[in-house]
């Protein structure tokens, strides 16, 4: 079925020149000719009561209603986009996702893209929004970057409501006896202030809130204890939204969140605090994906959030299932590189969704490969070293060791990747030919994509390679059986995915792991390792394809609601910090028109 009404046929977006315009200027110009969301909904075959408009360009889609009508059977080809180990600037994975969506649209395919909602943390910090770039973007950019339809705000509020309930309960149990509690229908939970698992949430990078003290003052000022914040998109509530099959599943998962432990060691859950229902009430609308569009008019579902290094980092299960039921081709993305985002897509998300990929795109850039070959470090906000903009085949070839590692990771899942070289104008023909040769010698398909400069037209080679890959059978299988012991599964992931020699546990992590193994339900949870995104290892300084290292695990967290066990490797923080040159310094408003400028 061919896609109709796409913007490239009208020719508007293609008149924009990314070499002379910033991303926000391109997005602003394109917004003048956005397809009405009603047209997108009709193209997808949505009934009037299955979606709710938010202005002319956005809509929330009721997945439960749609799937009840059309069925949950999978129709569309399912494609995941991942990447090699990135530099601090990122390597255009979301841009490539958009380019591929637009390229498949150019081939006449009924394609739907699924991407994550940008977090306010990176939007106002270093990396910027997650809308793509150049002529491969999700629009409208301002709406996408500044809150969209309120999902992340709802998750923040639901998370913090649980913290309000916890601190209030601790205060009242301290100040009153059992008879007073019983009169109010409460049973003493006897929460251990030294074993509080939950934290407050905020969707900014605020390192000053990582560790705080709350409840200072008198008896009426809350319970005095150590606390802290994590960024909202790294919260268990975000992971629950991403992994839930529907509203009922979301409600069930929220009730299982362990917020603390009692002094006798029993878990204290959101259900014990009787706050789980109210948390779900805040998320009724958030479980519905937001319908947007690409610069060339293809439908895009935006849902859940980023940060696959410290969180699940996946677009939601419900968005992907919805897209696969409605489209002929579905392009989704998983955060950061294949050792982080794709591994979690492969071994966690696909288990939840029941979907298996027909093709996997591995994004690489000459810039990142040179960095892995030993070029000077890429630093956000500072000029690139000239080695990145001039031909250097020696560094590039050495850095391709990282590319080969990621090809091996994807092949370990039973899928042969399509390597996409995200084109930069500074790439030379010899550099592109070198990467092509190395990728093809490793057995991968290869395509160069110039979507940033040319939109869907520049992604035709990639789109054709992906269509071909989708027709070839693969033997997709999970890395581990969930019945295998936890230590064995963690060790296997470190050795077979990351390339390490083994795992070293600090005493606290080992104690927790042994306790989790003794509980049958916890022992069967998937593993979601939190580590740096800048290396295959735990150490961001170990570039390329490091060998001869061991993974240090200092803690193991349990997210019973999300259904995840989270080993924490190295010095990883669940609340990022704001840089000295953040993006908010360049974001402003045109007070005459009210339009936002400076987003990227």
Evaluate whether 21 touches 309 at the Cβ level (below 8 Å).
no
> What is the C-alpha separation between 241 and 252, in angstroms, rounded?
12
**Catalytic residue (one of 6, 82, 94, 95):** 95
The secondary structure of residue 119, as a DSSP letter, is P
Closest by CA to 1, choosing from 112, 109, 107, 113, is: 109
Q: How far apart are CA 316 and CA 208, in angstroms?
A: 30
Q: Which of 88, 389, 424, 495 is catalytic?
A: 424
Q: Which residue among 336, 345, 446, 549 is the active-site one?
A: 336
Question: Does residue 436 have an active-site annotation?
Answer: no
Catalytic annotation, pick one of 7, 60, 77, 93: 93
Respond yes or no: is residue 554 known to be catalytic.
Answer: no
Annotated active-site residue in 452, 454, 463, 532: 452
Annotated catalytic residue 476: no
Cβ atoms 130, 361 nearer than 8 A: no
Residues near 272 by beta carbon (within 8 Å), at least 6 away in sequence? 189
| Catalytic-labelled residue, pool 7, 116, 367, 531 | 116
Q: Is there a contact between 244 and 318 (Cβ–Cβ < 8 Å)? A: yes
Helices 460-471, 93-106: axis angle to 10 degrees equals: 80
Cα 31-36-39 angle, rounded to 5 deg:
145
d(CA 388, CA 381): 15
Which is the catalytic residue, given 308, 423, 439, 562?
A: 308
Query: Do residues 451 and 96 lie in contact, with contact meaning Cβ atoms separated by under 8 Å?
Result: yes
The yes-or-no answer on residue 24 being catalytic is no
Residue 184 is a catalytic residue: no
Concerning whether 10 is annotated as a catalytic residue, the answer is no
Reduced to 3 states (helix: H, G, I; strand: E, B; else coil), residue 230 is strand
Q: 88's torsion region: left (phi>0), alpha (psi -120 to 50) or beta?
A: alpha
- Euclidean distance between CA atoms 105 and 92, whole angstroms: 19
Active site residue 69: no
Does residue 246 contact residue 64 with C-beta atoms inside 8 Å?
yes
Instruction: Please confirm, yes or no, whether 600 is among the known catalytic residues.
Output: no
The catalytic site residues sit at 93, 95, 116, 127, 308, 336, 424, 452
């Amino acid at each position: 079925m061919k896609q109709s009404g796409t913007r490239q046929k009208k020719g508007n977006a293609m008149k924009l020149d990314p070499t002379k315009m910033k991303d926000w200027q391109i997005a602003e110009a394109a917004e003048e000719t956005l397809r009405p969301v009603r047209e997108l909904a009709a193209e997808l075959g949505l009934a009037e009561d299955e979606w709710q408009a938010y202005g002319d360009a956005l809509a929330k889609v009721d997945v439960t209603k749609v799937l009840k009508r059309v069925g949950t059977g999978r129709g569309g080809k399912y494609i995941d986009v991942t990447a090699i180990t990135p530099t601090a600037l990122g390597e255009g994975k979301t841009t490539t996702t958009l380019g591929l969506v637009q390229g498949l649209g150019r081939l006449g395919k009924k394609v739907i893209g699924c991407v994550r909602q940008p977090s306010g943390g990176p939007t106002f910090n270093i990396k910027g929004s997650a809308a793509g770039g150049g002529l491969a973007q999700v629009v409208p950019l301002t709406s996408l970057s500044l809150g969209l339809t309120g999902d992340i705000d709802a998750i923040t509020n639901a998370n913090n409501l649980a913290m309000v309930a916890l601190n209030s309960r601790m205060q009242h149990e301290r100040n009153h006896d059992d008879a007073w509690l019983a009169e109010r229908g409460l049973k003493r939970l006897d929460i251990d202030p030294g074993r509080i698992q939950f934290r407050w949430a905020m969707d900014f990078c605020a390192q000053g809130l990582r560790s705080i003290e709350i409840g200072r003052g008198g008896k009426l000022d809350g319970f005095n204890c150590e606390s802290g914040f994590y960024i909202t998109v790294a919260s268990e509530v975000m992971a629950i939204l991403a992994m839930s099959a529907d509203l009922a599943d979301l409600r069930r998962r929220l009730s299982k969140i362990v917020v603390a432990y009692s002094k006798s060691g029993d878990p204290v859950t959101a259900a014990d605090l009787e706050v789980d229902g109210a948390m779900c009430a805040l998320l009724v609308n958030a479980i519905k994906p937001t319908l947007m569009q690409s610069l060339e008019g293809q439908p895009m579902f935006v849902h859940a959030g980023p940060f696959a290094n410290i969180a699940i980092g996946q677009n939601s299960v419900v968005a992907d299932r919805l897209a696969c039921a409605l489209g002929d081709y579905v392009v989704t993305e998983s955060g950061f590189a294949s050792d982080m985002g794709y591994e979690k897509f492969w071994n966690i998300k696909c288990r939840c969704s029941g979907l298996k990929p027909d093709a996997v795109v591995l994004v690489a850039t000459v810039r990142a490969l040179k960095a892995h070959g030993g070029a000077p470090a890429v630093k956000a906000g500072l000029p690139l070293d000239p080695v990145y903009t001039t031909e250097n085949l020696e560094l590039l070839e050495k850095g391709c060791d990282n590319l080969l590692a990621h090809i091996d990771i994807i092949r370990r899942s039973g899928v042969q990747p399509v390597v996409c070289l995200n084109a930069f104008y500074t790439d030379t023909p010899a550099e592109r030919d070198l990467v092509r040769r190395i990728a093809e010698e490793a057995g991968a398909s290869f395509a160069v994509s110039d979507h940033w400069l040319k939109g869907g037209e520049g992604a035709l080679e990639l789109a054709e390679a992906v269509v071909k890959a989708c027709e070839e059978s693969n033997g997709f299988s999970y890395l581990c059986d969930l019945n295998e012991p936890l230590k064995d599964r963690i060790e296997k992931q470190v050795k077979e995915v990351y390339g390490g020699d083994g795992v070293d546990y600090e005493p606290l992590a080992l104690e927790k792991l042994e306790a989790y193994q003794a509980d049958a339900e916890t022992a069967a949870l998937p593993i979601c390792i939190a580590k740096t995104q800048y290396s295959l290892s735990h150490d961001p300084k170990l570039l390329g394809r490091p060998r001869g290292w061991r993974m240090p695990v200092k803690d193991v967290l349990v997210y019973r609601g999300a259904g995840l066990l989270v080993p924490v490797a190295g010095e990883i923080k669940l609340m990022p910090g704001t840089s000295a040159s953040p993006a908010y310094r360049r974001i402003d408003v045109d007070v005459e028109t009210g339009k936002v400028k400076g987003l990227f």
